Structure 1
Amino acid sequence: MGKQIILNAFDMNSAMHNSHGLWKHPENQRHRKYKDLNYWIELAKLLERGKFDAIFFADVLGIYDVYQKNKAPSIRDGLQVPLNDPALLVSAMASVTEHLSFAVTVSTTYEAPFGNARRFSTLDHLTKGRVAWNVVTSYLPNAARNFGLEDMIKHDERYDIADEYLDVSYKLWEQSWEEDAVTEDVEKKLLVDPEKVHEINHQGHYFKVEGPHLSEPSLQRTPVIYQAGTSDKGREFAAKHAECIFVGGPTPERIRYYADDIRERAKKHGRNPEHVKIISFLNVIVAETTEEAEAKFEAYNQEWSADAAKAQYGASGYDIAEYEDVDPDQPFSYKKKTEGGHYKAATLTKDAPKQLTVGEVLDRFESIDRNSYIIGNPKEVADEIQFQFEESGVDGFNLTHLVTPGDLEAFVDLVIPELQERGLYKKDYREGTLREKLFPQGNATLPEDHPGSKFRRK
């Protein structure tokens, strides 16, 4: 059997995710039901029926307010607001599934490592090892102000903080508790052996943590580490720490460039590049016939919100409103450096297939970018997924959805069987934790070549 696709559902515990303006579509349920636990329970069952590897929960800690220097465009169309805590969904969704895993986004910039380590140990226990942590450094100016800062911490320094944050986390997960610390020795009246529970006494530049970790070791100890970043600093961090890395790009060739670069960087950190899975984004609109899929796309396009799309682009640190009075034929370029998301900024410059004009950039926000979507019947969609999978060199995809849950239901019912028939997608889950499913030749815990394993108590 050849290489098979890893598939995550890309989602958020919010009224809307990245489907700008689509709350107006009559079949969209998420903005009404995201607060209802049964909605998430049913979604978990659907994804397990489709043999999805995980549901990947994005998260932010502020409102997008760079566009027009105002929060209103984001709030008006529910751009990732209102937004609830994704971690609180996991236990309920895990209780009705056996194999579906859960990747939860938590920022290293604003949350302390000690509390975060307990959160993931708890989730790993309750899910029997089906948890991943998507490590982010946060890019919204409003998030910085929400946590008492006047300005965002500089982009590269956020990664320096994250690097030390991971070291603290590894010490708590891998070093603090010995495997047999919980003894349950009735004769000695000893539930936990104090000699086998250790302080970590971390004294670093950004963090001081005494320990010990409050949680006993879970099945994975360290959750599977997910990360996304296309900046030089982001790729270096991912190559060192991440086991699943998200990369984007306008063409399979550009995605392969990032994938190859990250794998080479992983080698320099002493890691086996096969211990790194590369994930890209997948946007699909599918129906039983091509004509029905095209009609669905047109209906979605009618509800699209250009303002919400421009507001989300503010994650780059750039305000697209500043270009609206510029000569549309002028080549598009940035006039300054920002501390926002470099990957977002790159989509209109170095990752664009050609030099764009200001007019071309502004037009991109006015409707759904058809070039970034696969639209068609099940066979046509599977053909294009197979092409992207083979040409880009990725290991899998994060599947987006504009209308929920309808788009996910259509993908499960129409596309998954076609991919399974081609041998590109599993018909059954492997047993074990998320790490064992992703890396079947390995163990539930970090491999020896991962930097986190050096903290492991021998």
Structure 2
Amino acid sequence: MAKEILFNAFSMNAVGHQSPGLWRHPRDRSGEFNRLSFWTDLAKTLEAGLFDGLFLADVLGVYDVYGASPAAALRHGTQVPSNDPALLVPAMAAVTRHLGFGVTSNLTYEPPFPFARRMSTLDHLTKGRIGWNVVTGYLDSAARAAGLAKQRGHDDRYAVAEEYMDVVYSLWEGSWDDDAAVRDAARGVFADPAKVRPAVYRGRHFSLDAVHLSEPSPQRTPVLYQAGSSPAGRAFAARHAECVFMSGPSVAALKPRVADIRRLAAEAGRDPSAIKIFALATVVTGPTDAAAETKLADFRRYVSPEGALTLMSGWTGVDLSTYQLDEEVRHVETDAGRTAMENITRADPSRVWTVRQVAEQVGIGGIGPIFVGSPATVANLMETWIAETGVDGFNLAYAIAPETFEDIVEHVVPELQRRGRYKRAYVSGTLREKLVGGGPRLPRSHPAAGFRPSRDHAEAAE
């Protein structure tokens, strides 16, 4: 029996997100991102469509590589203005029962101690439906906002990330016993001090000696997402991630990355099939293939090519304003996103990208494919990508919001259900139990388990 396809909605607490310029479309509501009703309505739509989660992107800093200025990003609404994604989650959790929430947070610029409390708080408030997309950043503008001249080197950021993970694991997994918060009114004891201990860590980049401020949440450690597909990112994901987000324009770009993560996970002593891999994609659908193509042509009228190049310049660290539109993009090594550069220079040897083609590709849905057609055609494309790449599902970006997601729920989900490729009901439990099975806590094969206070506690958490 073919496995069920997983769906995350891919969005951002900002205007436009992955389709620069389409905020101008008369049916687009993404400009209402700063209204809570926009997000609670979206959450209800996604839960009605049995989406596994809402994956919230975030970026610290402004896209100012293109033209060496933030002017283009501001002019076209290229992921600016943007607001904090974590603050949306409690409201959306209040109007749903099952939908998961993957929150992007950049570990480079936030101390681990307050961050660990924020994620524990969200895990409590959602009853175990929170995930963390672990990112290290790629914009020098974010570094300057933090008082630094520039960001750390690409691979150095992952070395810092390894220590950061150890610190938050020690807080989430090791500071409190499961039964420490006894709530014994008769004895006047809320928490048993004998069952709470400080998390102590001494490393090159971090030092900690503190009791975690939150009692154990349903999952303790949130579901761990990771979105880096560079060699350093894949190695990090193989050790830590439960879900991996990959972006690439073709099967040829994604297939070897998927295989490499699963290989590295096996070498790390983890079950490679337990890591759920989501590919970026955008769906444009209608009753017929022709109707969907007409809709896509309409969307393309609103694309901002300069906004698209602003995005890609930020992702790659290369100022594409210095190129001619029909000039070939050649590989340049930078400390920004290595995968973004690979996608348009080396990932598919059969293709050479010009700047104009990059703008066209990124204009709707970023660097991922567009699945355009009737529900049957879209379902066929999804099944083909899964069969040929080995991914487990898709992070579905929108062309216009919320219509893109409404179309998927109304048309594509029923088609996949008819084929036996999509669930008809949520399973019970936390986000971790829904996505990867097993219990609500990380398994003993995960490095976080090494921070539990004893083997008995590790086994009890299974």
Q: Same fold (TM over 0.5)?
A: yes
Q: Please give the alpha-carbon distance, in whole angstroms, between the structure 2 residues aligned to 1:99 and 1:353.
A: 42
CA RMSD of aligned residues (A): 1.5
Which amino acid is 2:123 matched to? D
Q: For the Cα contact (< 8 Å) 1:9–1:52, is it kept in 2?
A: yes
Matches within 5 A, 1:10-409: 10-31=10-31, 33-314=32-313, 315-324=315-324, 328=326, 332-334=329-331, 336-356=332-352, 360-366=354-360, 368=363, 372-409=369-406
1:420 and 2:417 matched = yes
CA shift, 1:251, in A, is 2.6
Distance 2:44 2:429 in 1: 19
Partner SS, residue 109 of structure 1? helix
1:3 corresponds to which residue?
3
Is 1:452 the counterpart of 2:451? The answer is: no
With normalisation by structure 1, the TM-score equals 0.95
Q: How far apart are 1:356 and its partner, in Å?
A: 1.6
Give the distance between the partners of 1:319 and 1:253, measured in 2 at CA: 26
Contact 2:323 2:355 survives alignment (8 Å): no
1:205 Cα offset (Å): 0.7
Determine if contact 1:332/1:355 at 8 Å carries over to the other structure: no
Deviation at 1:200, TM superposition (A): 1.1
**SS of 1:56's equivalent?**
strand
Shift of 1:19: 1.1
**Structure 1 345/253 Cα, relative in aligned 2: closer, same or farther at 3 Å?**
closer
Say if 1:55 and 1:258 are closer, same or farther in 2 by CA, change over 3 A.
Answer: same
Q: Which moved more, 1:92-101 or 1:385-394?
A: 385-394
Question: Structure 1's 355 and 299: CA in aligned 2 closer, same or farther, altered over 3 A?
Answer: closer
For residues 401 and 141 of structure 2, what CA distance do their matches in structure 1 show? 28
Structure 1 residue 229, shift from structure 2 partner: 1.3
In the superposition, relative to structure 1, how do residues 355 and 6 fare at CA in structure 2: closer, same or farther (>3 Å)? closer
- Gaps of at least 5 residues in structure 2 are 455-462
Residue 270 of structure 2 aligns with an amino acid whose one-letter code is: R
Cα deviations by residue, 1:153-198 (Å, 9 ceiling, x for unpaired): 1111110111100000100000000111111223432111111111
Q: Does the 8 Å CA contact 1:176/1:198 hold for their aligned counterparts?
A: yes
What runs of 5+ residues in structure 1 fail to find an aligned partner?
A: none
Quote the sequence identity (%). Answer: 45
Q: Name the CA distance, whole Å, in 2 between partners of 1:113 and 1:421.
A: 45
2:6 maps to amino acid: I
Compute the displacement of 1:355 (Å): 4.9
- Give, in whole Å, the separation in 1 of the partners of 2:150 and 2:225: 27
- Please, what TM-score do these two structures have when normalized by structure 2? 0.95
Q: 1: CA distance between counterparts of 2:119 and 2:275? A: 21
**Structure 2 CA distance, aligned partners of 1:67 and 1:187?**
65
SS in 2 for 1:425: coil
SS in 1 for 2:16: coil
Q: Describe the SS at the equivalent of 1:65.
A: coil
Inter-CA distance 352–75: structure 2 relative to 1 (3 Å threshold): farther
Residue aligned with 1:397, SS: strand
Q: CA deviation at 1:107?
A: 0.6
Q: Deviations along 1:124-172, whole A, 9 cap, x unmatched?
A: 0000000000000000111110110011111111101111000001000
Which amino acid counterpart does residue 363 of structure 1 have in structure 2? Answer: Q
- The amino acid of 1:387's aligned partner reads T
